[in-house]
């Protein structure tokens, strides 16, 4: 891969955006590479948690402004749809995806972090949706994911002013779930990943999908779906092992049969 780097340590994968001279800006080529990586990752059954991070001074400093600067409307809509599709695919991965943010997470970079399941960020990270300063709006679903994460008030404030906030402020408003000390984003994300791995290998992806799908469903429908998903798990052997282990005061041994 030219703009991405991937390494897997057991069930944990680390995907690094690796275009540091452009602060990892998302060009069409980067989005293509990310999409093809994600299609492979979806099928990688040995991978259970994926951590996203950036090389150099930034997580990702946004969609590539040079790319967008020559757009006509038709190219603009294609670019937005592409980003939305790729981030949507990321969000739908069966694996748990953790953003480990340091430095800049601006525009498309913040939208990328919002498409992850969990956000870890260094106190000094810089989040923002500065698109309006360029005469555009967030186009990779930021106008939709941001209010869902932090409420419409903070979403309008951030999108309409284009102001940047630190990781610490982002944590205070609920945009970031876990704060890390400077230089510790990856290490902190690895700790979170290890906790995710303690959960049942069937339960985790189903719990993820349930939350994701449920928010866009009417409550009674989502509730029915939840009960069916809850019941389905009992056909996998996993709850039996998980609860037996609790009662026997030991750690669950997730096996092929129970997982």
Q: List residues with catalytic annotation.
A: 111, 131
Stretch that binds ligand COA, among 10-18, 21-29, 75-83, 192-200 (CB under 6 A): 21-29
Handedness of CA 246, 248, 252, 256 (dihedral sign): negative
Closest Cα partner for 147 from 139, 158, 137, 136? Answer: 158
Q: What span, in angstroms and rounded, lies between the C-alpha atoms of 34 and 51? A: 13
Residue (98 or 159) nearer to ligand COA, CB: 159
- Integer distance in angstroms from the first to the last C-alpha of the chain? 32
Contact 170, 112 (CB under 8 A): no
Contact 120, 98 (CB under 8 A): yes
Total number of residues binding ligand COA (CB under 6 A)?
16
List of residues 6+ apart from 196 with CB closer than 8 A: 48, 49, 96, 98, 204
Handedness of CA 142, 148, 149, 151 (dihedral sign): positive
Residue written as token pair 């994968």: 13
Residue (64 or 241) nearer to ligand COA, CB: 64
Q: What is the pattern of x (binds ligand COA, CB under 6 A) and - over residues 127-166? A: ---xx--x--------------------------------
Q: What is the pattern of x (binds ligand COA, CB under 6 A) and - over residues 25-64? A: x-----------------------------------xxxx
Number of separate helices (H) and strands (E) present in the chain: 11, 10
Q: Give least dist CB 62 to ligand COA, A.
A: 3
Candidates 108, 142, 167, 252: give the one binding ligand COA (CB under 6 A): 108
Q: What span, in angstroms and rounded, lies between the C-alpha atoms of 104 and 167? A: 10
Q: Give least dist CB 22 to ligand COA, A.
A: 4
Q: Give least dist CB 182 to ligand COA, A.
A: 17
Residue (47 or 106) nearer to ligand COA, CB: 106
Residue (24 or 188) nearer to ligand COA, CB: 24
Q: Give least dist CB 52 to ligand COA, A.
A: 17
Candidates 4, 14, 15, 23: give the one binding ligand COA (CB under 6 A): 23
Residue (108 or 200) nearer to ligand COA, CB: 108
| CB neighbours of residue 143 within 10 Å | 16
Residue written as token pair 């967008």: 68
Q: Show contacts with ligand COA in window 76-105 (CB under 6 A).
A: 104
Structure tokens at 135: 């005469």
Candidates 14, 80, 106, 170: give the one binding ligand COA (CB under 6 A): 106
For binding to ligand COA (CB under 6 A), which residues are involved?
Answer: 22-23, 25, 61-66, 104, 106-108, 130-131, 134
């Amino acid at each position: 891969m030219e703009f991405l780097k991937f390494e897997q340590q057991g069930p944990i994968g680390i995907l690094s955006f690796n275009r540091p001279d452009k602060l990892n800006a998302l060009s069409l080529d980067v989005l293509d590479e990310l999409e093809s990586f994600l299609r492979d990752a979806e099928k990688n059954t040995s991978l259970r948690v994926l951590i996203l991070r950036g090389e150099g001074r930034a997580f990702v400093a946004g969609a590539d402004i040079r790319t967008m600067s020559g757009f006509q409307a038709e190219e603009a809509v294609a670019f937005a749809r592409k980003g939305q599709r790729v981030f949507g695919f990321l969000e739908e991965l069966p694996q748990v995806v953790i953003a480990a943010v340091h430095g800049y997470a601006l525009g498309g970079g913040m939208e990328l972090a919002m498409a992850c399941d969990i956000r870890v960020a260094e106190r000094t990270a810089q989040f923002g949706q500065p698109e309006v300063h360029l005469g555009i709006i967030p186009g990779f679903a930021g106008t939709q994911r941001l209010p869902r994460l932090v409420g419409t008030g903070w979403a309008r404030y951030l999108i309409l002013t284009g102001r940047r906030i630190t990781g610490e402020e982002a944590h205070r408003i609920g945009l970031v779930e876990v704060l890390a000390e400077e230089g510790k984003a990856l290490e902190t994300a690895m700790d979170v990943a290890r906790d995710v791995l303690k959960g049942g290998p069937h339960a985790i992806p189903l719990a993820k999908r349930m939350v994701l799908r449920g928010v866009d469903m009417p409550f009674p429908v989502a509730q029915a779906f939840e009960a069916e998903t809850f019941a389905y798990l009992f056909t996998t052997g996993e709850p039996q092992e998980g609860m037996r282990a609790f009662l026997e005061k030991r750690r669950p041994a997730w096996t092929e049969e129970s997982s």
